[in-house]
Amino acid sequence: MTGYDDRDGKIWMDGQLIDWRDAKVHILTHALHYASSVFEGERCYNGKIFKSVQHSERLRNSARLLDMEIPYSVEEIEAAKYAMLEANGWSDAYVRAVAWRGAGEDMGVSAKRNRVRLAVAGWEWGAYYGDAKMQGAKLDISKWKRPSPETIPAHAKAAGLYMICTMSKHAAEAKGCSDALFMDYRGYVAEATGANIFFVKDGAVHTPMPDCFLNGITRQTVIGMLTERGIEVIERHILPEELESFEQCWLTGTAAEVTPVGQIGDYTFEVGALTREIAEAYEKLVRA
Which residues are part of the catalytic machinery? 157
CA–CA dist 122, 150 (Å, integer): 34
Vertex 138 angle, CA 135 and 143, to 5° = 165
CA–CA dist 275, 151 (Å, integer): 35
If we measure between CA atoms, which residue out of 163, 235, 159, 231 comes closest to residue 197?
235
CA–CA dist 259, 253 (Å, integer): 9
Strand positions, DSSP E, 133-186? 137-146, 179-184
Q: For residue 235, list its beta bridge partners.
A: 207
Residue spans of alpha helices (H) in the chain: 30-34, 52-65, 74-88, 132-135, 163-174, 217-228, 273-286
Q: Within the chain, what is the greatest distance between any pair of CA atoms?
A: 59
CA–CA dist 67, 61 (Å, integer): 10
- Beta strands 257-264; 137-146: pairing state: parallel
If we measure between CA atoms, which residue out of 64, 42, 45 comes closest to residue 53?
42
Neighbours of 146 (CB within 10 A): 24
Residues in the chain: 288
